[in-house]
Amino acid sequence: MRRYLSTLPLSLLGLLTLSAASVAQAADQGAERVLSVLQARFPDAQIGTPQPSSITGYYEVNLGSQVLYVSGNGRYLILGDLIDLKSDANLSEARRADLRRQLLGQVDPGSLIVFGSASPRRVITAFTNIHCQYCRNLHQSLKSVLAQGDVQVRYVLLPDGRKGAASYAEAESVWCAPDRARALEKAFSGQKLPTRNCKAPMTDYLVLARKLNIQGLPSMVLDNGSLLTGFVSDGQIRQWLQISPAP
């Protein structure tokens, strides 16, 4: 290829270079326009860098783990799943899973409440609440799955309200306990815990849940970024682990 290009007239090489530069410049301008429009429309959102999408003339943009498609002129926005009819692949969900995996990869496991293997084959991050009955039921399902010995569950404990609320204080007491896992077990069983205060990451948990677009509790995110919301049995969790490949 190098030898072929060296035989082309310099004038033609210049045109090819100029054409490639023009396309790149147009793409950059489209991305800048899209970003500018979205920042003006959603000033409080953390908007990712627009990237050319599989739809001609549209850019893919992420807000946390949400995926949007915006026209290059900044006028049209598409919410919904982009399906490749040739492969039947859900391109939007694949991208969301990748974003969830990246977001969870930025979280220090030491800031979570961990159950299970120290050297797991699979990791589940569960978003839960002490007072949620479905969350308590899911904990029992997860305990059965943990008995396999090759799974780790990392709990993100979400309070019902802001700092100062009773549920926030209870969540803080669990996290600040010397043995967080044991404290969460007691809280799920309805036992009253001693009040404890420390620099707990409850606010960070809430921010993380918003970025991951957690819509309800309980919710679980697998290590490959796939999401499952609501109560499920231990058998359903095992099936999920089987059909959802490791990253």
Domain end residue (candidates: 38, 60, 80): 80
pLDDT single digits (tens) 71-81? 999 999 999 99
Same domain, 185 and 235: yes
For the chain, give the mean pLDDT.
88
Confidence of residue 148 (pLDDT cuts 50, 70, 90): confident
- Is residue 165 helix, strand or coil? coil
Same domain, 219 and 119: yes
pLDDT single digits (tens) 3-20? 433 444 555 545 544 444
pTM as predicted: 0.84
In a domain, 135, yes or no: yes
Q: Is 133 exposed, middle or buried (0-12, 13-18, 19+ CB in 10 A)?
A: exposed
The whole-number average pLDDT for the span 108-123 is: 95
- Is residue 151 helix, strand or coil? strand
Residue 184's pLDDT is what?
Answer: 97
The torsion defined by the Cα of 30, 36, 41 and 46, in degrees rounded to 10, comes to 100
In a domain, 196, yes or no: yes
Same domain, 112 and 233: yes
Count Cβ atoms below 10 Å from residue 132 Cβ, excluding itself: 18
Same domain, 223 and 126: yes
Domain end residue (candidates: 41, 65, 80): 80
Integer Cα distance of 128 and 247 in angstroms: 24
Same domain, 75 and 114: no
Same domain, 159 and 215: yes
Determine how β-strand 89-90 pairs with β-strand 122-128.
unpaired
Domain boundaries, position 194: 108-243
In a domain, 98, yes or no: no
| CA 177 to chain centroid | 27
In terms of pLDDT, which residue wins out, 17 or 65? 65
124 pLDDT more than 70: yes
In a domain, 189, yes or no: yes
Same domain, 68 and 116: no
Residue 106's pLDDT is what?
Answer: 95
> Percentage of residues in the chain with pLDDT exceeding 70?
87
Residue 112's pLDDT is what?
Answer: 96
In a domain, 94, yes or no: no
Q: Which two tokens stand for residue 197?
A: 């205060």
Confidence of residue 96 (pLDDT cuts 50, 70, 90): very high
Integer Cα distance of 102 and 231 in angstroms: 25
Which 8-state DSSP code applies to residue 109?
G
- Residue 42 belongs to a domain with what CATH number? 3.10.450.70
Same domain, 188 and 225: yes
pLDDT single digits (tens) 159-174? 886 676 677 889 999 9
Residue 166's pLDDT is what?
Answer: 74
